[in-house]
Structure formats: C-alpha cells, structure tokens
Amino acid sequence: MNPSFAVVSYYEPWWIQILKAVVIFAIILQLQPILIVGERKLLGRFQGRYGPNRVGPYGLATPLADVIKLATKEQFRPDTSIGWMFALAPIISVVAAIGALSIIPFGDTQDIFGTQVGLYGLDVSIGPLFVFAMGAVAFYGIMLGGFSSGSKYSFLGAMRAAAQLISYEVSQGLALVGVVMTAGTLSLTEIVHAQQGMWYVIPQFLGFLIFLVASFAETNRAPFDLVEADAEIVGGYFTEYGGTRFTSYLFAEYINMCVVSLIMVTVFFGGWLLPFGINPPGWLDPFIVLGKTSVFLVFFIWIRATLPRVRYDQLMSFGWKVLLPLATLNTLVTAIVLVATD
Amino acid sequence: MAEVLFFLTAIATLGGAVGVIALRNPFYSVLALVVHLISLAMLFLLLRAEFVAAAQVIVYAGAVMVLYVFVVSYVGGSEEPIGVGPSRGFRVASVAFGGALFLVLAIAILGSGLKAIDSQGAPYVSGFGSPGAIGKLLLTDFLLPFEVASFLLLVAAVGAVTLARRRGGLETPGELATYSALDFLRPAGTGTMAEGVGGRRRLPAATPESGTEDARA
C-alpha cells in the first residue's frame, strides 16, 4: 500500500483537483432532491398517510416542482432588515456546508488511465478539524441571517443556534478524540485504513453514540431543532426568508446532514471497507460509502418522525451535564487503555 | 498564485483589524474581528501550518467570537455608539501609549533582521506544522508553558462559575444557600444582580414561594 497523500504532503495537479471538486459537488447536489422527496415520503408513511404523490411517478418529481416554485418567487426582505447581511448570510451557510464536503473520502487512491487519483477532494493532515472549522463558519450563516432579518423570531432562532452550536460542538469534537488516538492520525483516509481489522464503532461505541447525538444538534434536526422550532418561533432564523435564499438554507441543512452522515461512515463504519474479508474492486468504493451513508440519512428521518422536540433547557443541560462528561470519560478511558495495551 | 492569495488575505486581515477599532457599531466591529481572524487563519494556511489555521478558526471564530456576537447582538446592536466619547486628555494619552507600543514592536521586528524578506527564508521541512509535530513540541519542549496555560484556563472556568452563582438564579429549589466570608467583607451595593433590582439581599434559602416563582418564570 502506498503512503496516503496526507502523509507525504502530496497534492494532485490542479486540473484533477478542479475536476474532482465539480464531480463531488454535482453528485452530492443531486442527492439533495432525492433526500428531500425521500424524507417527505417516509414521514408520510410514518404518520399513516401517502406523502407527496402528485408530480411524476410516485411523486418523485416533487422536489423539481419545489425548486421551480422557489426559484421563481419574488425576492423580498423586511423593512427592518440589513440588506447586504441579509443577502450574504445564506451564501455563508451554503459555502460552509459544501466546503466540509471537500475532505470526505469516497474511496482509496485509484489508478485511472495511468494517473493516481484519490477519490476525495483533499486528504488533509487535519481531517475532522477541517469539518469543525467549517461548522464554525456555518454558524455565522445562521447567526447573521437571524440578526439581519430585523425580526424577533429570527433573532431568537439565531440566539438559540449560537448557544446550541457551541454546546454540542465540544462533545462532538471530544467524541472523535478516542478514534483519533486509536488510529494515531487525523487524516480521514488513514483512519479508514486503520479500520481494516475492525470498524471503530465496536471499540468506540460510546464515542459513536455521543457523536450521533451531538450530530443531531449540530445539524439542527429533530429532536434538537430548537433553532427552527415552528411551534414556538415560527421558523427561527429563516422566518423572513423566501425564494432562492430560503432554498439555500434548505440545501445547507440537507448537505450538512449528508456531511455528518459521511463523517460517521468514514470514522466509525470503515468508510469504503466491507466486513467479512470481502474485497470489492476499487470503482465500487464510492457506491459502498454512499450506500452506508443512506442508512444514516434514513435514520435521521426516522428519528425526526419518532421523537418529540425537547425543551430548550433540557437541550442545554443534556449537552453540558450528560454528553460532555461522557465524552471526556470516553477520551480518558481510551487513553488509559491505549497506554496499558501498548 | 501564492503571492496573489497572500496579498488578498493580508488586505483582508489588515482591513478587519482596522474595522474593529474604526467602526462605530459594536456589532460590525465584532464582525470585522471575525473577518480578521479568519483571514489570519488563511495566512497560517499559506505558511503550511494547517493545524494552527484550523485551531484558529475553531477556537477563535467558532467559540470566542460566538460569545462576543451573542452578547453584542443582545445589548449593543443599535446604531448609536455605547456611552459618551472619551475626553480630550484621554485621547492624547491613548495616542501616546499606542505610539510607544508601536515603537517597541518596530524595534523588536527590525532587531530580528528581517532576513526572510530578501532571501528564501527558512526551508520547509516535511512534517512541520503537522498535528503530530505540534503535539510532540507541546509535550516535550513547551510542557511547562502548556500546563501553566491549561491551569490558567481552569482557574478562569472556576471563576466564571463562582461569579455566575453569586449573581443568583442558578440555585435549584431545595438547595442550601451558601455563604462566603467575602459576602460580609464586600461593601453593600456592589455586584450581585439581586442588589441591582432591589437592595442588598443574601442568597435566599429556597422557599416554596420562590419555587413557584421560578416555575412561572
């Protein structure tokens, strides 16, 4: 096995990088309509109704109709809003969400027509830290959107986002420390390679659970969708948004869901590796990763249909008093076990 | 390419720094500081210090500035500047001190010889700036400063909790009121939020009445 690009600080030629960026972006963007219609269909089934079934066969063209509807809407903003910030905020959200995609590994380094191509945007030596940095930038998309709207509900939603994001990012980061210590590297492809024998979900099960729960809060999904709790604050930070700007927020949320699922697959579920010694050809790698990811995406939707929204103080005390101590304990125990068995 | 990126980020860095002190609206000041910190992270990236760049964005833009934005958007998001401007003497003194600080820094930078500007600068060693290399340095050469800094942060955290408790509102019903010797040494009218809204009060032992009040609030 060749050393991974992160270890040798090797970067591919610029035209490969651009090609890869376009391909990854296009594939993930095409996933979003499927995800949206899948969510609505599944939610319908969970609630004993049909879900969308009017546009196209089985209602599969519904997201297409949605996008046309949203894109042709009038651009508007409230009188009290701050114009440039109002327009900038959704862009920040989308950019941060797509930026995090660039380090997700979809497969090993492949020999395509004699050129060595890694099936990922970049293999950086900081790995998950890059995703957390993008999460930090994404916060400003939500915060500025809520603040610049000039509306109380938007502002409350943005404030909730601020508190929720910093509370849960800590636990999310600490949950990954155990994996990083076991693998001895931060590079995501190296972490996948280190899972040849056993997926990290088995030795790091507690870390996986913490990461999973914190991910729901990070992506503002039910039961932690206090940021956009429609029963309390209308729509949270995007109350005043409509048309394509609203679509941007929507896409950012769903892409974030994909990113978090992809990270979980990469870090805890062996990325493109299959269990029981099955060794498929290299071109199947991305399909394996996307297949595993879709399981998590369905799980996200399932949880949304199952659990009621928690109260705000419950959310906060759960994050600080349960998740964070557990994550710290997980890190400590992992460190002790590693040193003892080394 | 690197040169273009360097000048773009350098302009953004300096612009952000100037914006922090020049903008009247505190919310925009904080946003300028965010721009400054993120551009600084990009400069670190150009120096191949990936870990430092990520840490810069996560810790400063992602955690510290979030709190700043939180507070400023609650209390100071209005168009009017907070409070009255500084007096004339204060301004003169601030310019004098600022100039003195600039002089000290200029002497220090010039004293370093600025060797890297004319020549190629220090060579890049593979692995420099990687998380592993930084971790090794922190646990060998810089162990003492590292531990002292972490102890300082621990003290700050304990202090924050103590201050928050003294202001009341955090005690759960049925919890015993705690008194500190400092409560008796402290002059009346300083500090607690309870005093701010109505005279000096000791931390109340939780009564059924206050419990229902909490529930209503």
**What does the alpha-carbon distance between residue B91 and residue A96 come to, in Å, rounded to a whole number?**
41
> Could you read off the pLDDT of A46-76 as tens digits, one per residue?
888 888 888 878 888 888 888 888 888 888 8
| Residues on chain A touching B67 (C-beta within 8 angstroms) | 166
pLDDT at res. A167: 81
pLDDT at A144 > cutoff 80: yes
- Tell me if B69 and A126 make a contact (CB, 8 A cut-off): no
Residue-wise pLDDT tens digits, B22-31: 887 788 888 8
Distance, CA of B74 to CA of B206 (rounded, Å)? 30
Chain B CB contacts of A139 below 8 Å: 62, 66
Identify which of A198, A139, A179, A193 has the alpha carbon closest to the alpha carbon of residue A264: A179
Name chain B contacts of A126, Cβ cutoff 8 Å: 50-51, 54, 131
Within 170-199 of A, beta carbons closer than 8 Å to B belong to 173, 186
- Per-residue pLDDT tens over the stretch B156-201: 988 888 877 766 555 555 555 555 666 666 655 555 555 555 444 4
Mutate to test the interface with B, among A92, A126, A152 (most CBs of B within 10 A): A126
The parent domain of residue A235 ranges over 5-341
Number of domains in chain A: 1
When CB atoms are compared, the residue of B57, B73, B130 closest to A133 is B57
b vs e for B62-98, b when ≥16 Cβ sit within 10 Å of the residue's Cβ? beebbebbbebbeeebeeeeeeeeeeeeeeeeeeeee
Contacts by A80-87, CB closer than 8 A, 24 or more apart: A80/A149, A80/A150, A80/A151, A81/A148, A81/A149, A81/A150, A81/A151, A81/A240, A82/A147, A82/A148, A82/A150, A85/A144, A85/A147, A85/A148, A86/A145, A86/A148, A86/A149, A86/A240, A86/A245, A87/A245
CB-closest option in A124, A125, A137 to B61: A137
Q: Where residue A229 falls among pLDDT bands split at 50, 70, 90? A: confident
Contact A126 B70 (CB under 8 A): no
A 232-261 residues with CB < 8 A to B:
none
Instruction: Indicate yes or no: CB of B61 within 8 angstroms of CB of A165.
Output: no
Average predicted confidence (pLDDT) for chain B: 75
Percentage of chain A lying above the pLDDT 90 cut: 2
* Predicted local distance difference test score (pLDDT) of residue B172: 57
Confidence check: pLDDT of A4 > 70: no
Mean pLDDT over each residue of chain A, to the nearest integer? 83
Give the chain B residue whose CA is nearest to the CA of A166. Answer: B63
Structural domains of chain B sorted by starting position, each given as residue range(s) with its CATH number in brackets: 1-78 (1.20.120.1200)
**Residue B213 pLDDT grade (very low, low, confident, very high; cuts 50, 70, 90):** very low
- Which chain B residue shows the shortest CA-CA distance from A164? B66
Q: Taking 50 as the threshold, does the pLDDT of residue B214 lie above it?
A: no
Q: Is the distance from CB of A301 to CB of A39 less than 8 angstroms?
A: yes
pLDDT in tens, A286-329: 888 888 899 999 998 898 888 888 887 788 888 888 888 999 99
